[in-house]
Amino acid sequence: MRIVAGIHKGRQLKAVPGKSTRPTTDKVKEAIFQVMGPFFDGGTCLDLFAGSGSLGIEAISRGMDNGIFIDKHPKAIQTIHENIRNFKLEDVTEVYRTDAFRALKAVDKRDLKFNLIFLDPPYGKVNYTNLLQDIEKNQLLTDDGIVYCEHDPKELFEIPMDNYQILKQGDYGGAIGVTIIKKS
């Protein structure tokens, strides 16, 4: 697992030990970032269910100003901290060990808005409709913001809000379903 592009291109990321997470492959990262914007001109990203922090660190490497990483598993939090230290990103990142829904409430209280939100929960364990409705209710996405949703490719994925559109929806290798949505 490595950073695909940007200032940290080619550098290796540490994976979360064990089989509790499924890292997004380099091939999928390359494809999805081509859709979301190969490079960013600033902004803030939120990496919920962050695992190793791979997606958020990739976004920072490609030009996001900063990122917030959330996961509830201690091994994931430890791995995120190690990756952030190895990439010297401590000044532009925040890491929290908490549940995703609590995290959304906490960032809402801080009046934060995100240009890019990554949702990559364990398959079948989280209700995407509830997550997306919380994001919209708390107005956590900028007007031109993007939400990346990784899910089981067999899962029927629908957007619960009218003011969003699907930018890309696809099946990557039969094991990963991806839906990228944007505020419209």
DSSP 34-46: HHH-SS-SS-EEE
Q: How many residues does the chain have?
A: 184
Query: For 13-27, how does the pLDDT look when each residue is reduced to its tens digit (9 = 90+)?
Result: 999 987 666 677 788
C-alpha closest to that of 64 among 116, 111, 27, 22 = 116
Query: For 20-47, how does the pLDDT look when each residue is reduced to its tens digit (9 = 90+)?
Result: 666 777 888 888 898 898 889 999 999 9
Fold adopted by 26-183: Rossmann fold (3.40.50)
Q: Where are the domains of the chain?
A: 26-183
pTM: 0.94
Return the number of other C-beta atoms located less than 10 Å from residue 118's C-beta.
29
More confident residue, 129 or 67: 67
Query: For 64-117, how does the pLDDT look when each residue is reduced to its tens digit (9 = 90+)?
Result: 999 999 999 999 999 999 999 999 999 999 999 999 999 999 999 999 999 999
Q: How far apart are CA 7 and CA 58, in angstroms?
A: 9
| Residues 181 and 169 sit within 8 Å (Cβ to Cβ) | no
* Measured CA distances, 60 to 57, 84, 157 (Å): 5, 11, 27
One-letter amino acid for residue 7 of the chain: I
